[in-house]
Chain A
Amino acid sequence: MTALEPAVGAPAAPRRPGRLRRLLESPVLTSRQSLAGLVILGIVVLAALTAPLFVHGDVQAKVGPVFAPPSHRFWLGTDGGGADMAKLLLMGARVSLLVGFASAAVSVLIGGTVGILSGFFGGKVDIVLMRITDYVLVLPDIPLMIVVAALFGRSLTNIIVIIGVIYWTSTARLLRAQVKSVRERVYVQRARALGAGNARLIFRHVLPQVTPLLVANTVLFVAYAIFAETFISFLGLGDPSIVSWGRLIQNAFTDDAILNNAWWAIVPPGVAVVVVVVACTMVGQAMEDAFNPRLRSGHLSTRRFRLRPVPAREPR
Chain B
Amino acid sequence: MSGGLLEVEDLHVWFDLPQRRELHAVQGVSFSVDRGERLGLVGESGSGKTTTILALMGLLPPTAAVAGRVLLDGEDVLARGERTVAPHRWKDVAMVFQGAMNAFNPVRRVGEQLVEPMELHGVASGTQAMRRAGELLERVGIPAARLRSYPHEFSGGMRQRAAIAMALACRPKLLLADEPTTALDVMVQAQILQLLIALADDFGLGLVLVTHDLPVVAQTCTAAAVMYAGEIVETGPMDALYHEPRHPYTRLLFAATPDLESRDVVVSIPGNPPRLDEGISGCPFRPRCDSAVERCGLERPGLRRVGGAHEAACHVAEQVPA
Contacts and interface: CB of A to CB of B under 8 A. Distances in A.
Given A5-B267, A316-B299, A310 B12 contact: yes
Contact of B66 (A8, A298, A306): A306
B262 interface: no
Interface string A281-315: 00000000000000000110101111111110110
Contacts of B68: 310
A61 interface: no
A314 B65 contact: no
A8 B288 CA distance: 10
B67 A305 contact: no
A193 interface: no
Contact of A305 (B64, B267, B270, B302): B64
Given A304-B58, A311-B67, 11 more contacts: A9-B272, A299-B61, A305-B64, A305-B65, A305-B82, A307-B67, A307-B78, A307-B81, A308-B14, A309-B67, A313-B28
A143 interface: no
Interface of A: 5-9, 298-299, 301, 303-311, 313-314, 316
Given A5-B270, A7-B270, A9-B272, A308 B81 contact: no
A287 B118 CA distance: 44
B155 interface: no
A9 B287 CA distance: 10
A301 B82 CA distance: 14
26 contacts: A5-B267, A6-B270, A7-B270, A7-B271, A8-B270, A9-B272, A299-B61, A301-B61, A301-B62, A305-B64, A305-B65, A305-B82, A306-B62, A306-B65, A306-B81, A307-B67, A307-B78, A307-B80, A308-B14, A308-B65, A308-B66, A310-B10, A310-B67, A313-B28, A313-B302, A316-B300
Contacts of B14: 308
B268 interface: yes
B65 A307 contact: yes
Nearest to A315: B299
A305 B81 CA distance: 7
B60 interface: yes
A307 B66 contact: yes
A303 B62 contact: yes
Interface in B40-96: 58, 60-62, 64-68, 78, 80-82
A308 B82 contact: no
Contacts of A313: 28, 302
Contacts of B271: 7, 9
A304 B82 contact: yes
B60 A305 contact: yes
B170 to A, nearest CB: 21
Interface string B288-303: 0000000000011010
Contacts of A6: 270
